Amino acid sequence: MSLSTPPKASFLASLKAFPSTIWKSIFRNPLPSNDLERSATSFTNFFLHIHPVKVHKNSLRPLYTFGLGLISFFLFVILIVTGILLMFYYVPATSQAYDRMLDLRGSVAFGTLLRNMHRWGAHGMVAIVFLHLCRVFLTGSYKKPREFNWVVGVILFLLTLFMSFTGYLLPWDQLAFWAITVGTAIAGYAPVVGKDIQFLLMGGTSVGQEALLRFYVLHVAVLPAVLTLMIAIHFWRIRKDGGLSRPEDADPVISLEAMPTVKASVLEPKKTYGLQGLVRGPLTKVGEIPDNTVFSWPNLFLAELFTFVVTLSAILVVSLLFNAPLEEPVNALHPPNPAKAPWYFLGLQEMVSYSAFWGGIGVPTIFVLLLLGAPYLDRGPGGVGKWFSRDRLLANTIFITFVVANIIFVIIGTFFRGANWAFVTPW
């Protein structure tokens, strides 16, 4: 579509066209009305071009993905935005941090809302990323060729946990101080290097100014940068691995035998390979094969927008209804009883109460190693793209056992543990 302007436009006409000129210079395409324009819209927009032009129908099934990966990403975006705004008010000093919290709650415009959104968004992200991990495992999506993207995903999950954990200390109230004291103590149970890791994290033998500064730098600089990089890799690999996983029968079988074989030597002199020659995976299919893909515009983008709106409204509603906790100022001599780690580590703390090493280090390490190694241990090709596939009964059973056990421990640790870690009933 060429924008051929009349050779001699009057000044008035140019002025009249000025807004649309600006608009068109930003958005090169008009709202698409045919397939070519739809492709072009996806292709030429910086924010959209990370998407494929066409997307498989299976990827758009809400009940297949529940949009969990996207929700995680949007939560991350919300956290970055609110986090940067919070950084304007925060000082990572033991003498000031708590007062800054009081200011945020009391005098800063929208301070309470910002803090609530950041707090609940962070808790939400931990939960959603974990659910996303469960979805990917239970649909067998980590199998070839997505093995390494799964590994990246597990690393992202661990980074999210660590991100949330480092942020936990920053309000510098009793909840923060003792949760981090307990959390770092759990790290200290690791053999050989445990105490060193603990020392490295805290910058000393107890949680204090050094720990606050370290956690702050990790939380606002190091981890977000690493996380952003890993997310980029994660997304890029999704594209390169041919989109989201789907069951084999989602596409009709193409019999490769029927294709005529062509001697390479015949092609070689005549043809220079384009980029397509490097692309692996299903061959480009033209013509008679039924097409199971739809254009990303508007199908995919609407779905993404919808997910974003739902995520944002959920966070806003929760932030409006519940205030982020702010307990007493830190008193290092007066631990609450019981002192509890953040909820997502309470499963660990509960297990630690049975055995320091096995609960805090042994079992979690085994779980993480199993997760990382899953695609390399479970090499059977079957069951990809189907929830709870029968082909993957064993793997799913092991996974669900671990997950359910952890959830039970978290629930016990959260609701059923009172003073001196004795069993109490919450009612």
Partner 1 sequence: MRIALAIGTFLILVIHGIVFYNQFGHPWERNQNTYFDQAKVLAKSEAEKAALAGRKPRIEQIVVSNFGETRFDRCTTCHIASDDPRFASHAEPVKTHPYSTALGDTQKNGKWERRHKFSEFGCTVCHDGQGRGLDVEYSHGKDEYWPDPLLGFTTQDHWRKEHAPKLKGKEYMQANCAQCHTEIAFAATPLVTRGRELFFANNCYGCHRIEGLSDGNIGPDLSDVGRKWKLDYLWGRIADPKFILATSIMPKFNLKDDEIKALVVFLKSRKGRNFAETEIQRFKVKLTGGAELVQATIKPVKINPAEMVKQGEKLVLDRACTACHKLGNRDGGIAPDLSFEGQLRDGEWILAHFKNPKSTMSDSIMPAFRFTDDEFKAMTAYLLTLKGQATPAAGEAIYKNLCLRCHGEKGDGQGPIAEHLDPYPRDLTKAGFMNSKSEARFVNSVRNGVNGTSMPAWGKLVTEEQAKTVLAYIQTNFTKDARRELKVRPIPEKNPVAFSTESVTRGEALFVNRCAGCHGRKGDGKGPNSLDILPKPRNLRNAFFVNSVDDKRLFESIQYGVQGTAMPPWIDYGLTNNDVGDLVNFIRSINPKPKGGQNAGAIQ
Q: Would you tell me which residues interact with partner 1 (CB under 8 A)?
A: 95, 99, 102-103, 105-107, 109-110, 113, 173-174, 302-303, 305-306, 309-310, 312-313, 316-317, 320, 325-329, 331, 334
What's the min distance (Å) between Cβ of 184 and partner 1?
Answer: 23
Helices (H) and strands (E) in the chain, counts: 17, 2
Within 10 angstroms of residue 261's Cβ, the number of other Cβ atoms is 7
Q: Which is nearer to partner 1, 13 or 309 (CB)?
A: 309
Helices (H), 322-362: 343-352, 356-357
What's the min distance (Å) between Cβ of 369 and partner 1?
Answer: 38
What's the min distance (Å) between Cβ of 268 and partner 1?
Answer: 50
CA distances from residue 14 to 3, 8, 23 in whole angstroms, order as listed: 14, 10, 14
What's the min distance (Å) between Cβ of 202 and partner 1?
Answer: 24
Q: Which is nearer to partner 1, 78 or 395 (CB)?
A: 78
- Closest listed residue to residue 72, CA positions, set 124, 20, 14: 124
Within 10 angstroms of residue 256's Cβ, the number of other Cβ atoms is 8
Structure tokens, 321: 């209804």
CA distances from residue 81 to 22, 275, 326 in whole angstroms, order as listed: 28, 37, 21
Angle at 235 between CA 229 and CA 239, to 5 degrees: 140
Q: Which is nearer to partner 1, 103 or 210 (CB)?
A: 103
At 58, which amino acid appears?
N
What's the min distance (Å) between Cβ of 355 and partner 1?
Answer: 21
What's the min distance (Å) between Cβ of 336 and partner 1?
Answer: 10
What's the min distance (Å) between Cβ of 326 and partner 1?
Answer: 7
- CA distance linking residue 175 with residue 178, whole number of Å: 6
Structure-token match 């299976």, residue found: 58
Structure tokens, 56: 């498989």
Residue 52, phi then psi, degrees to nearest 5: -75, 160
Q: Are 330 and 98 in contact (CB under 8 A)?
A: yes
Side-chain-facing half-sphere of 393: CA atoms under 13 Å = 2
Q: Which is nearer to partner 1, 327 or 391 (CB)?
A: 327
Structure tokens, 12: 């008035």
Going by the DSSP 8-state scheme, the letter that residue 276 receives in this structure is G
- Closest listed residue to residue 336, CA positions, set 166, 183, 177, 139: 177
Q: Which is nearer to partner 1, 124 or 359 (CB)?
A: 124
Q: Which is nearer to partner 1, 329 or 364 (CB)?
A: 329
Q: Which is nearer to partner 1, 303 or 395 (CB)?
A: 303
- CA distance linking residue 78 with residue 72, whole number of Å: 10
What's the min distance (Å) between Cβ of 413 and partner 1?
Answer: 21
What's the min distance (Å) between Cβ of 379 and partner 1?
Answer: 39
Structure tokens, 186: 């759990």
Q: Which is nearer to partner 1, 211 or 303 (CB)?
A: 303
Going by the DSSP 8-state scheme, the letter that residue 277 receives in this structure is G
What's the min distance (Å) between Cβ of 173 and partner 1?
Answer: 7
Q: Which is nearer to partner 1, 102 or 408 (CB)?
A: 102
Q: Which is nearer to partner 1, 18 or 110 (CB)?
A: 110
Q: Is the link from the previous residue into 145 a cis peptide, with omega within 30 of 0?
A: yes
